[in-house]
Amino acid sequence: MERVDCQTLLEHLARNPIIASVKNEEGLEAALKSDVPVIFLLFGDVLNIRDMVARAHAAGKVVFVHMDLMDGLAAREVSVDFIARHTAADGVLSTKASLTRRAKELGLVAIQRFFLLDSMAIDNISRHLGPETSDLIEVLPGLMPKIISRVRLVAAGKPVIAGGLIREKGDVTAALTAGAVAVSATSPAVWEM
């Protein structure tokens, strides 16, 4: 399976806007059997990441590696180089703009994650987000439709993914109605909605 570009990713998400965020082997197995088109790998290490990406691709999934959560990788650009050269991951996600910027330079789809703790966090999005930093952004927690709408205004035209604490169909509907292109969730029940 060839790596997807941002447009192809958005087409997948238009058909099914649910992303399986997996944090352990059990979650990965469930995601591989589900109908979700995209998987965020929130666990793993330098020894098993290539295999997990290959398994996801074999199941027809688009797969992203969360750079901040991979054991054995430092928060440095060379870690993104490792993912690009030694795995077939479609992209990466990170809270660090330097890592998402490097991913874009290498032709990977880059998703920058923002934790919305207060109004200063929302202001930081517009200050730290340029066309070179990422292709999409993910905001957490994703249970704030009013805030998702506000983030879309400051996100420099980047598509927004809502993640974190999403458990019910109403949470998914509210996030999508507020303008998110997708939601990411660790709950298999959400993946089947």
113-155 pLDDT, tens digit each: 999 888 888 888 877 777 788 999 999 999 899 999 999 988 8
Q: Is the dihedral of CA 124, 69, 179, 15 positive or negative?
A: positive
Q: Decide if 178 is inside a domain.
A: yes
The range of the structural domain enclosing residue 149 comes to 6-191
pTM, 2 dp: 0.95
Q: How many domains does the chain have?
A: 1
Q: Decide if 1 is inside a domain.
A: no
**Assign residue 60 a region: left if phi > 0, alpha if psi is -120 to 50, beta otherwise?**
left
Looking up residue 135, the CATH number of its domain turns out to be 3.20.20.70
Q: Are 20 and 185 in contact, with CB atoms under 8 Å apart?
A: yes
Sorted by sequence, the CB contacts under 8 Å of residue 82 that are 6+ apart come out as 46, 73
Q: Decide if 64 is inside a domain.
A: yes
Q: Decide if 41 is inside a domain.
A: yes
Q: With bands split at pLDDT 50, 70 and 90, how would you rate the model's confidence at 2? A: confident
Q: Decide if 134 is inside a domain.
A: yes
